[in-house]
Amino acid sequence: MVDDLGAAKALRRSGLHAWLKVDCGYHRAGVAPESAYALEVAKELGEERGVFFDGILSHSGHAYRTTNRDEAAEVAESERLVMVRFGQRLATVGIPVRGISVGSTPAMAAVRDLTGVTEARPGNYVFYDRTMVLIGACRPTDVGVTVLATVVSHQPGASHFIVDAGALALSKDPGPGHGDLPQAMGAVQRHPELTVATLSQEHGLIRAASPAELEGRFRVGERLEIVPNHSCLTVAHFDVYHVLRGGRVVERWPIARGR
Contacting positions for its own copies (CB under 8 A): 3-4, 6-7, 10, 21, 23, 28-32, 37, 61, 123, 152-156, 162, 167-169, 171-174, 200-201, 203, 205, 219-221, 230, 232-233, 236-239, 258-259
Residue type, 96: P
Nearest to its own copies of 174, 182 (CB atom): 174
Nearest to its own copies of 35, 88 (CB atom): 35
Nearest to its own copies of 1, 244 (CB atom): 1
- Locate the DSSP E strands across the chain: 17-21, 52-57, 99-102, 119-120, 147-153, 160-163, 187-188, 195-199, 204-207, 223-227, 240-245, 248-254
Minimum CB separation of residue 22 from its own copies in Å reads: 11
Residue type, 154: H
Pairing of strands 248-254, 187-188: unpaired
Minimum CB separation of residue 3 from its own copies in Å reads: 5
Minimum CB separation of residue 69 from its own copies in Å reads: 22
Local structure of 152: helix, strand or coil: strand
Nearest to its own copies of 52, 241 (CB atom): 241
Nearest to its own copies of 69, 230 (CB atom): 230
User: Alpha-carbon distance 13 to 16, whole Å?
Assistant: 8
Nearest to its own copies of 100, 185 (CB atom): 185
Minimum CB separation of residue 171 from its own copies in Å reads: 6
User: Alpha-carbon distance 259 to 133, whole Å?
Assistant: 30
Under a CB-based contact definition with an 8 Å cutoff, are residues 153 and 239 in contact? no
Helical H segments across the chain, by residue range: 5-10, 36-46, 69-92, 105-110, 130-134, 167-170, 211-214, 231-235
Minimum CB separation of residue 153 from its own copies in Å reads: 4
Cα Rg of the chain, angstroms:
23
Minimum CB separation of residue 172 from its own copies in Å reads: 4
Residue type, 166: G
